[in-house]
Amino acid sequence: MVSGWMSERGVNTDFYEIRVTTNRPLDDATASAMFRSIGYAFRQNIRGEPMGMPRRVSPNCWTASYDSTKSRSDDWLGHLNDAMTDARRYVTHGTPVRKTRGGTRLNAGVGPIGLVFEFR
């Protein structure tokens, strides 16, 4: 753990912020789209409050607030790996196709990208 950040493999306690490092620089619009998809995956799997707006740390590193203590699930930590797996898929390919809105997606994917998640 560096500066209080836990890697995704080391998370074993509540967290209040997510840091995502990408393998390429992102502009503000792309980072916002990325975090909308990550937030969708976290709401789907962990069932908590919405994710905060992303803040730039560097050209390829962003943070956003997320209070894991607000989850409606008693075992949210057991769903964290599923949330990150879905987040990676949704960021790359987009959120699932909607059944009621003509086959559209809530969020489009940003294409192939490497993501590293950290929490504190």
Q: Please, what CATH class does the domain formed by 6-119 belong to?
A: alpha beta
Q: How far is CA 42 from the centre of its chain?
A: 6
Q: What is the CA radius of gyration of the chain?
A: 14
The one-letter amino acid code at 28 reads D
Q: Convert the pLDDT of each residue in 64-92 to its tens digit.
A: 999 988 888 777 877 888 999 999 999 99
| Cα 39 from Cα 64, distance rounded (Å) | 10
Q: Convert the pLDDT of each residue in 8-64 to its tens digit.
A: 777 777 899 999 999 999 999 999 999 999 999 999 998 888 899 999 999 999 999
| Cα 6 from Cα 2, distance rounded (Å) | 7
The structural domains of the chain, with segments of one domain joined by +, span 6-119
pTM: 0.88
What is the structure's pLDDT at 3? 66
Q: Flag whether pLDDT at 2 surpasses 60.
A: no
